[in-house]
């Protein structure tokens, strides 16, 4: 398929694109370039990536594509809190706008990167795709809004699908240090301790970035009826774990001790997800990673690339990077670029991890 991948230059995109190309798809990227220069090893090559904002796409920009994969977003709670309006503008209205212009251009498939965080405060039972939405942050709300807005465009010739991903982990050429497994592993290597901010009791559903990518591939390969306007939780039952279990695994595998931040307290939230639908309906989706293997992969890559404290605390932290681009005047309040491509990549915008 000829596939437009929006958000191709982010954490998951940099893992997904080579897998799509490897599966024989013809890929074009579209990205605002917020993390250009925040590299963790060589970047994916051999495909074209356009620089632009999903909010500005026109139908003619989507001509000739058979599918759109939309990863472009303000991708976590801290950045979402920074500016809820911008979060709704990109994650919900921007995602819906991209669906609308794709449909107008005759694109048949639209695979949206949603999140388990739209279930929010879910109580003790494992949430299924039928469970109530109860988002507790602007980021979670934006994913609910996006699914609802995009769903309005579903018809005989346009099939959106919503992949509600668990929290990702694992190495990527556009590493993120602000997601739990990556964060604890990076802390072990740069600070020599696995530092917990709570007592580690909360449960988290986890999934490797490559396994998320496998879900996108499985949706593109599936018959239309199977995925038409359907949501799938993406993860594995075995990888719904408590934070302290992750911390212990990181400690065992890196030799760094687990420590607790001052005032670390119990957090009784249980957040469990049922992943049976995706394995039943999309048998091609077979997640391969375990959290333990992901920690080993991360630790090996962090050692190989010489992860610095500055990179761990700034370059690879989405909130720090966005604040820096805003502070330098390269992004405005709505997180729109104020300059051309060279602006984010050039000397002023390049993130050399020097903070």
Ligand X SMILES: NC(=O)c1ccc[n+]([C@@H]2O[C@H](COP(=O)([O-])OP(=O)(O)OC[C@H]3O[C@@H](n4cnc5c(N)ncnc54)[C@H](O)[C@@H]3O)[C@@H](O)[C@H]2O)c1
Contact residues for ligand X (CB under 6 A)?
6-7, 9-13, 31-35, 53-55, 71-73, 75, 90, 94, 113, 115, 165, 167-168, 174, 176, 179, 318
- CB of 12: closest distance to ligand X in angstroms? 4
Please report where in the chains the tokens 């398929």 appear, as a residue: 1
Of the candidates 42, 12, 48, the residue with the CA atom closest to the CA atom of residue 30: 48
Q: Which of 353, 287, 295, 281 is nearest to 320 (CA)?
A: 353
Residue number closest to ligand X, CB atom: 10
Alpha carbon 318 to its chain's center? 11
Shortest approach of ligand X to residue 192 CB, angstroms? 25
Comparing CB distances to ligand X, the nearer of 55 and 305 is 55
Among candidates 10, 269, 271, which has minimal Cα distance to 117?
A: 271
Strands 203-208 and 240-242 come out as: antiparallel
By residue count, the chain amounts to 355
State whether the Cα torsion 68-69-72-74 is positive or negative.
positive
Is residue 267 within 8 Å of residue 199, measured between CB atoms?
yes
Q: In the complex, what is the shortest distance from the CB of residue 263 to ligand X, in angstroms, rounded to a whole number? A: 26
155 vs 350 by CB, closer to ligand X: 350
In whole angstroms, how close is the CB of 225 to ligand X at the nearest point? Answer: 25
User: Which tokens go with 297?
Assistant: 């992969």
Specify the residue, 31 or 313, whose C-beta has the smaller distance to ligand X. 31
Question: Which lies closer to ligand X via its Cβ, residue 7 or residue 44?
Answer: 7
For residues 61 and 193, which CB has a smaller minimum distance to ligand X in the complex?
61
210 bridge partner residues: none
CB count in 10 Å sphere of residue 85: 11
Nearer to ligand X, 39 or 193 (CB): 39
Query: Closest distance between ligand X and the C-beta of residue 173, in Å?
Result: 11
Q: How far is the CB of 47 from ligand X (least distance, A)?
A: 15
């Amino acid at each position: 398929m000829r596939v437009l991948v929006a958000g191709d230059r982010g954490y998951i995109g940099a893992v997904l694109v080579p897998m799509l190309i490897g599966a024989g798809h013809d890929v074009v990227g579209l990205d605002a370039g917020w993390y250009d220069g925040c590299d963790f090893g060589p970047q994916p090559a051999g495909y074209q990536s356009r620089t632009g904002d999903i909010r500005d796409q026109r139908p003619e920009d989507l001509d000739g594509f058979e599918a759109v994969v939309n990863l472009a977003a303000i991708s976590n709670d801290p950045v979402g809190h920074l500016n809820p309006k911008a979060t709704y503008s990109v994650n919900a209205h921007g995602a819906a706008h991209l669906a609308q212009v794709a449909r107008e251009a005759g694109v048949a498939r639209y695979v949206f990167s949603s999140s388990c965080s739209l279930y929010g405060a879910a109580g003790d039972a494992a949430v299924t795709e039928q469970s109530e939405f109860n988002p507790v942050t602007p980021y979670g709300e934006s994913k609910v809004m996006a699914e609802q807005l995009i769903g309005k465009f579903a018809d005989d010739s346009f099939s959106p699908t919503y992949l509600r991903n668990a929290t990702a982990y694992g190495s990527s050429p556009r590493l993120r240090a602000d997601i739990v497994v990556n964060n604890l592993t990076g802390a072990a290597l740069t600070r020599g301790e696995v530092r917990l901010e709570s007592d580690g009791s909360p449960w988290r559903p986890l999934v490797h970035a490559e396994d998320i990518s496998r879900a996108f591939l499985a949706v593109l390969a599936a018959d239309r009826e199977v995925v038409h306007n359907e949501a799938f939780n993406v993860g594995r039952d075995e990888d719904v774990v408590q934070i302290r279990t992750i911390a212990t695994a990181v400690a065992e595998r890196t030799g760094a001790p687990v420590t607790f931040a001052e005032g670390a307290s119990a957090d009784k939230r249980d957040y469990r997800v049922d992943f049976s639908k995706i394995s039943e309906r999309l048998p091609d989706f077979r997640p391969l990673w375990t959290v333990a293997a992901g920690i080993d992969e991360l630790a090996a890559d962090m050692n190989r690339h010489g992860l610095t404290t500055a990179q761990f605390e700034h370059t690879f932290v989405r909130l720090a990077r966005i604040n820096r681009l805003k502070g330098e005047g390269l992004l405005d309040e709505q997180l729109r670029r104020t300059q051309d491509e060279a602006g984010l990549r050039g000397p002023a915008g390049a993130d050399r991890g020097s903070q």
